[in-house]
Structure 1
Amino acid sequence: MAGTRRTRVKRKLLWRWRRNPLRRRSDRVETWIVLVTWIVALAGGLLAGEAAGSAMEDDLTTRRAAVHSVSAVLTENADRTPAVTADGTGGTVRAKVRWTAPDGSTRTGVTRTEPGRTAGSPVTVWIDRRGDLQRAPLTAGEASLQSALTGVLVAVGTGAVAFGCGRLARLRLDRRRMRDWEAEWARVAPSGGRT
């Protein structure tokens, strides 16, 4: 009983590859379209996702290496109530700070800090090699998460494009089959099917 069931499942899965005297050339083409679509969707999606995730992680690592933190001093009192902003930094406020650049010069700028801090309070800021203020880089965990999400999105997108292209090819093949069928029907039954 189990052997018969396995045989039926195997036949059902491999029906496109069985020999059949009624099988047309378009059926063989469709079989190859389905096979290539699945291979490209799965293998291509995985490879594209892996490449995108690795590239994103490399980029974020380079960004993290390009900045470093230094101690700065608030030059004015920070606002007491944070404003909600579009970038989601509603828990902080902007305030002017002063820091020393790598070349020894004193610089000033505006950065985000906790609300209610007073002038003269120490603040940590992130600067690049020239001493210009930069946003704080993502932590290693945040960078890994962003890289993984990028890889997943690219893999899914690649698979979706492959399936879409395969479906489009099969639709065109179906249209051609319908034209061939209509032409054959017109040749076999010239009276339009009436007897």
Structure 2
Amino acid sequence: MVAFRGPKVWLWRWRRNPLKRRSDRLESWVVLAAWALTVCGGVIAGLLSAESVESGLARQRAEWHPTAALLTQDAPEPSATSGPGAEKVWAKVRWTAPDGSERQGQARVEPATLMGTQVTVWTDTEGRLVTKPASESQARLRAGLVGGLAGMCVAAVPYVGGRLVRGRLERRRMDQWDEEWALIGPLWARKTW
């Protein structure tokens, strides 16, 4: 059997009530502040993080470019441990940087490619090897995931803080009731006959 609780009263924490204690008023403001900071802080942090990630990935797409490189050694066969789905292997390559200097490094290439074969690698503005930049759809997905995670982490701080403050207020209220009951309880035990 469900107990009758009556109709739900909106904003009951801020209504006048002669039985409302100071701690009840404080708790109402703690709840309001915690929820406001949780929602606003989480949304703002999520949006700013997503925008930062998306602009960084857009900058990479603009600055990083494909460069022709030559294999300086034969690319190895895919190993049995890499599994049948392994598409590329590491091999040494040589390319020319924008300043005209020769550079060497390792890049992922097709398995069993012969030395001297021209491959495409991605380099930054200084000629260093980089990974292929994320496409626009990949960038949106990454930005959304990072923004969502950052928003949840930031929102957790005021939420947990509000819960801790409310728990402390509740413990304090219970202690006050225990003190009052210690004073009043013995008076009820007296016999009047």
Q: For this structure pair, what is the TM-score category when the shorter chain's length is used for normalisation? A: 0.7 to 0.9
Tell whether the 8 Å contact from 2:96 to 2:103 is kept in structure 1 after alignment: yes
What stretches of structure 2 of length at least 5 have no aligned partner?
1-5
Matches of 2:109 and 2:187 in 1, distance apart? 82
C-alpha distance in structure 1 between counterparts of 2:68 and 2:141, whole Å: 28
Q: Partner of 2:33 in structure 1?
A: 36
SS in 1 for 2:164: helix
Distance in 1 between the 2:149 and 2:26 partners?
Answer: 30
Match in the other structure for 1:20: 17
> Which residue of structure 1 aligns with residue 66 of structure 2?
69
Match of 1:100 in 2: 96
Residues in 2 aligned to 1:134 and 1:155: alpha-carbon distance in whole angstroms: 29
Structure 1: runs of 5+ lacking an equivalent: 1-6
Distance 2:117 2:188 in 1: 93
Deviations 1:50-106 (Å, cap 9, x if unpaired)? 111112222223333342211112222211215549xxx943101111211112222
Question: For residue 144 of structure 2, what is the amino acid of its counterpart?
Answer: A
Q: Which residue of 2 aligns with 1:131?
A: 127
Which residue of structure 2 aligns with residue 8 of structure 1? Answer: 7
Asked if 1:186 corresponds to 2:192, the answer is no
Are 1:186 and 1:192, in contact at CA under 8 Å, matched by a contact in 2? no
Identity of aligned residues (%): 43
SS in 1 for 2:91: strand
Cα distance in 2, alignment partners of residues 42 and 146 from structure 1: 22
Tell me, in whole angstroms, the C-alpha distance in 2 between the residues paired with 1:84 and 1:47: 42
Q: Which whole-Å CA distance do the structure 1 matches of 2:188 and 2:131 have between them?
A: 75
Structure 1 pair 194–90 and aligned structure 2 pair: CA distance change class (3 A): farther
User: 1:52, 1:151 within 8 Å by CA — same for their partners in 2?
Assistant: yes
The code of the aligned residue for 1:8 comes to P
Task: Return the TM-score normalized by structure 1.
Answer: 0.83
Greater mean alpha carbon deviation, residues 33-42 or residues 73-82: 73-82
Pick the aligned partner of 1:91 from 79, 87, 90: 87
CA deviation after TM superposition for structure 1 residue 49, in Å? 0.7
RMSD: 2.4
SS in 2 for 1:97: strand
1:16 partner letter: R
TM-score (norm 2): 0.84
- How many residue pairs match? The answer is 183
Pair 1:152 & 2:157 matched: no
Give how far 1:171 is off: 0.5
> Quick check: 2:78–2:86 contact (8 Å CA) kept in 1?
no
Residue by residue over 1:133-158, the C-alpha shift from the partner in whole angstroms, topping out at 9 and shown as x without a partner, is 22222222212211111111111122
For residue 177 of structure 1, report the CA deviation from its aligned partner: 0.7
Q: Secondary structure at the match of 1:8?
A: coil
